Structure 1
Amino acid sequence: MAAAASSSSAAEERRGIPAAAFVEDVETYLRQSGLDVNACLSLLQERLQQYKIVEMKLLAQQRDLQAKIPDIHKCLDIVAALQSKKTLITDYEVSEGIYSRARIEATDSVCLWLGANVMLQYSRQEAFALLQKNLENAKASLQVLLADLQFLRDQETITQVTIARVYNWDVHQRRIKQPINES
């Protein structure tokens, strides 16, 4: 059994997500880590649960970003419409299920809702540039998040394979030690 205990992953961690080590030789891995089979399995299960918690958080962030991008597109469309037309007639929601019609005269400024009860007034050009930058940032964040999720899923798979390898090794060792009953 001259194989190494584990091969190092291409990346040790990605944005705080630790990389899982693929265990090639279970016996050497257990000896080097100083763990027995049960402690090793417990440790791997705990790591797998940690990965699942991080995955849930990342999926929530992904849903938020995927909802935010269409909203930014809508705002960009509205600012573009304001820039191209002198007068705009639109329907807007007054309260849930109640709409009203408004006539918006040409204006040089736009108010953007920034969240946390904050609204700021910008020129149309500034508003368009800000929204464009927000859209680019949201798309870039989504790409990074998707890469993080892929990395995380790879680590979950490696951990699950390692758990199976340790368990199977343990079963094999027990069979070897078990006396053969000849009838």
Structure 2
Amino acid sequence: MEMAAASSSATESGLTERRGIPAASFVEDVQSYLNQSGLDVSSALAFLQERLQQYRVVEMKLLAQQRDLQAKIPDIEKCLDIVATLQAKKGSGEALIADFEVSEGIYSRARIEESDSVCLWLGANVMLEYSCEQATILLKKNLENAKASLEVLVADLQFLRDQVTITQVTIARVYNWDVHQRKFRQPSPKES
């Protein structure tokens, strides 16, 4: 994103970006903003609208990542529960009866005898066999990483929403300032 024209106030507050998302600057004095940026009103409004659109694109990407993580976390937790159940049944001589999904909406029943290992999907059509202990360690680490990533995404989304609000307010301020300036530049009906 090219953000040169609106960065002066952002540096004053000390925050210029968050993980590649540029900070928007609140414009108190529109005339000074236009003078410092070297833009006329229509160019400034076009720049701000473009910035707003860039924020929206980033927001869509972050929301998609958030949805993926929110779906992934329960899956990891289920896997942890299954591995724990297998470990609990170990040594009891009792088989575990489980229903598993073969295809979307199609299930089959399986009888799982005592096992020292489980197979985990790693992604990209890769499955590896792990001991139950190794699987538990890996799944707990993946769960921690997913939760930490989700926290960062939530913070990024909040930062982004703040930048969208600041940019929308700046657009309104520039537009209103321009309307006000045009009103004073037009001759009054008494002068005509």
* CA distance in 1: counterparts of 2:46 and 2:105, whole angstroms: 53
Within the candidate set 134, 141, 144, 1:136 is matched to 144
* CA distance in 2: counterparts of 1:35 and 1:98, whole angstroms: 62
Q: Which runs of 5+ in 2 are unaligned?
A: 1-7
Q: Which runs of 5+ in 1 are unaligned?
A: none
Give the letter aligned to residue 119 of structure 2.
Answer: C
Give the letter aligned to residue 21 of structure 1.
Answer: S
* CA distance in 2: counterparts of 1:128 and 1:36, whole angstroms: 61
* CA distance in 2: counterparts of 1:97 and 1:63, whole angstroms: 22
TM-score by length of 2: 0.89
With over 3 angstroms needed to count, the CA separation of the structure-2 counterparts of 1:170 and 1:110, relative to structure 1, is same
Q: What corresponds to 1:175 in structure 2?
A: 183
* CA distance in 2: counterparts of 1:152 and 1:38, whole angstroms: 24
How far residue 145 of structure 1 moved from its aligned partner, in angstroms, is 0.1
Within the candidate set 169, 172, 184, 1:161 is matched to 169
Q: What corresponds to 1:116 in structure 2?
A: 124
Q: What corresponds to 1:50 in structure 2?
A: 54
Q: What corresponds to 1:103 in structure 2?
A: 111
Within the candidate set 145, 159, 183, 2:153 is matched to 145
SS in 1 for 2:188: coil
TM-score by length of 1: 0.93
Q: Percent identity?
A: 77
Aligned residues: 179
* CA distance in 1: counterparts of 2:144 and 2:9, whole angstroms: 40
How far residue 92 of structure 1 moved from its aligned partner, in angstroms, is 1.6
Within the candidate set 78, 83, 93, 1:79 is matched to 83
Q: What corresponds to 1:18 in structure 2?
A: 22
Query: In 2, are the aligned partners of 1:26 and 1:165 still within 8 Å (CA)?
Result: yes
Give the letter aligned to residue 122 of structure 1.
Answer: Y
* CA distance in 2: counterparts of 1:96 and 1:25, whole angstroms: 59
How far residue 10 of structure 1 moved from its aligned partner, in angstroms, is 4.2
* CA distance in 1: counterparts of 2:56 and 2:152, whole angstroms: 18
Query: In 2, are the aligned partners of 1:79 and 1:124 still within 8 Å (CA)?
Result: yes
